[in-house]
Amino acid sequence: MTKQELSIKIGNRIKQLRKEKNISQAELGRLCGRDKQHIELIENHKVSANTYTLYTIALALGVELEELFKF
């Protein structure tokens, strides 16, 4: 799997979990200390999130970090 393919899968998974929990991008950003645009860029595969950002997103979504990699 390439870096871009992984970024796409993680972005899609974050979007899926966020929607399942009925959280907006703005709310997720607020919960994890990022802005809406940063969340949007991750979900739309424009940027790759670093490990700490993924960790804070997982915490904000109320899931274990490994849940972001279940695709």
The total number of structural domains that make up the chain: 1
Banded pLDDT at 45 (limits 50, 70, 90) = very high
* Both structure tokens of 28: 């997720």
Print the SS3 string covering 8-35: HHHHHHHHHHHHHCCCCHHHHHHHHCCC
State the residue range of the domain holding 54.
3-69
Structure tokens, 63: 């899931």
71 has pLDDT over 90: no
Q: How far apart are CA 71 and CA 59, in angstroms?
A: 18
Q: What confidence score (pLDDT) does residue 32 get?
A: 94
CATH code, 39 = 1.10.260.40
